[in-house]
Amino acid sequence: MKILGVDPGLNATGYGLVETGKDCLTLIEAGIIRTKPRVPLEKRLSELYKGLDEVVQEFSPDVFSVEELYSHYKHPKTAVIMGHARGALLVVAGNAEIPVFSYSATMIKKSLTGAGHATKEQVASMIARTFNCGEMNVQADVTDALAAALCHINHENYGGVF
């Protein structure tokens, strides 16, 4: 089972592809799709779509796991912008007929660390330990995407490996 975790963002969208096996968990691919802030919104959304579509076409994930949309009530514009980015990315999954599973940030953190309000550093530390790669020098967008993938594995209990 290949799970594509995605951390949606307009400036930077993190992704991480994890494969579960009978007794193993493998990190296949991870990265960031970046857009330029001065480019019009529609072009940025197109870049996000194309970037993630390339990943999907190359690796054919079975499942798409993404963080649910959240924004503080004092910043409603942020929620709208994030909704645009998330929507463009979900279209990739829809076109490829990949089932989408959404998890709250709290659920993702709790699934990995046992605490729903874990810090970014705690999440990154769990990702590093899970993939046995020491302290990873990886941006939060990637660790958050991998965390979304691992949350789905924990939630669905694929193979009982994590």
For residue 67, indicate whether it is catalytic. Answer: yes
Query: Which residue is catalytic, options 19, 47, 67, 144?
Result: 67
Query: Which residue is catalytic, options 7, 19, 47, 144?
Result: 7
3-class SS at 109?
Answer: helix
Three-state secondary structure readout of 52-88: HHHHHHHHCCCEEEEECCCCCCCCHHHHHHHHHHHHH
Query: Which residue is catalytic, options 19, 47, 141, 144?
Result: 141
Cβ contact 98:62 at 8 Å: yes
For residue 7, indicate whether it is catalytic. Answer: yes
For residue 144, indicate whether it is catalytic. Answer: no
Q: Which residues are catalytically annotated?
A: 7, 67, 141
